[in-house]
Chains A and B, each alone.
Chain A
Amino acid sequence: MAYIVPRRDARTQSEGVVEGYAQTAQRWPAQPLARRAQGLSELTGPRLSSRLKATGANLAGHGAGRALGQLIDLRVSIVDEDGAPVPGAMVEIWHCNAAGKYIHPNDSNDAPADPNFYGAARLLADDAGRMVLRTVKPGAYPVPDTDGWWRPPHIHFSVWGRVWLSRLVTQMFFPGEPLNERDPILNAVRDPQARGRCIARFVPAAGNALVCEYDLVVRGRNAAAELP
């Protein structure tokens, strides 16, 4: 049974030059992307556990105290297009602190750093393709050199699926955020349902952390699933 990676759908996957996001006009290729066949080179993938080390799963307790902001427990599941869990999937997560400041030296925002917060983690999913990260809800922040574009609170994900072409780098948003309505990145996804799936779900739970659930679907499925 061969594993295949179906082509992207323009309704559910944005690309190209995007209005309101000036850098896309400098960076997305002007020439059409070339078609090619998929073979062993595209439909195999690395075993990363030998190359990349997992980190701890708590970004909110990096220093002596607790990070500023609202604690969240982020429950993430990783499945492929068959809905089959990806056991042991490696996931990288990064986001800004509650004030909207990244740990990255290139962040010129004058919001304060938080010594008790560290905005980068690398986790391995369990056998059911699930993982939990304790962190704080990130803040919104202004994008430099724009006409009032503020990024809504969001969390970056970098995920490996089963094969090279399954690589997924994306952003997760929070429900009920007014800035979601005008974010050029989120709204570049044309299909409203696909856009909605980029927003986490709050789940009622006891305890001192808001629980957010989020499902990541990586590209790829078994060819047999196509048969009638």
Chain B
Amino acid sequence: MTVTSIKFYQTGTHTVGNRLLDPSLRTVQADMRRTNSLNSGHRACQGCGEALGARYAIDAAMVATDNQLIAANATGCLEVFSTPYPETSWQIPWIHSLFGNTAAVATGIAAAMRVKGRPEVRVIAQGGDGGTTDIGFGCLSGMFERNDDVLYICYDNEAYMNTGVQRSSATPGAARTATTPAVGKEPGNVFGQGKNVPLIAMAHEIPYVATAIVSELRDLEAKVTRAMEFRGARYIHVFVPCPLGWGHASEDTIRIARLAKETGIFPVFAAEHGEVVGVSKIRTKLPVEEYLRPQKRFAHLFSPEPRPGAIARIQALADRNIRRFGLVDGGTL
């Protein structure tokens, strides 16, 4: 994780660009010649975090591979909103796989490139959390254990948004979805279910695993670039807020992502060969309420009567992340 140490006190290096910074040190997104791999005219909702995360990641990968890139894409929002036949928003070679076999399709492309003697052409597989953590999980695990030369990027918006916000194995506890309604004694999704795919990927001891977030562009780009320095199976899990499914204002997409990180809800880290090599620290630690309150999927935690028990459980999970990954300097809360 390379974050430039040059500090400009006006804006630090938190902004996308900086006119005072040498162009070679600016982000890919600040560049007027960025590829816009996912182009305008796509049909994602207003303020879509996934559209943003996908452009960030693929544009960075294009730079890292000198534009020698092919992507396979699982069914899901990203595929549906970008390619209604015969239009496409993709400005890269792109193939739609089935919902569950993207990792396998990408593996095949990588094998084909090897056979054709084109090692410079790199392969990305991408999908949402449904296609990754649920439906495509078998193929994904196979790709990992064979160490196929593919970078798999999961855009995690924590439910099946494309089909109408159904729960996935990435949906957090207490979140309301169409299949986990906010009714009953413990409304929303149950606690203690689901899976943490970045940790599962790490357990495969593949060369590179990282998590990233749309509010930290520099970090995200650095991780994609780093991933492209490896051969073999790599995995990046990008946290992408969904205004539609989460019920937050469309202008708040990046703010919500930032709050997920600052509360400890979503740990941002990188691991190489199964070991954590870097974490993105929390700048100002915030209570989880700050993250939960702007989202309608958690509205039942605050009204008609507050549910301090559920909030405390979410806080405990965030605190555990902070301890586990050392997200706060000094290690204490």
Q: Do A and B bind each other?
A: no
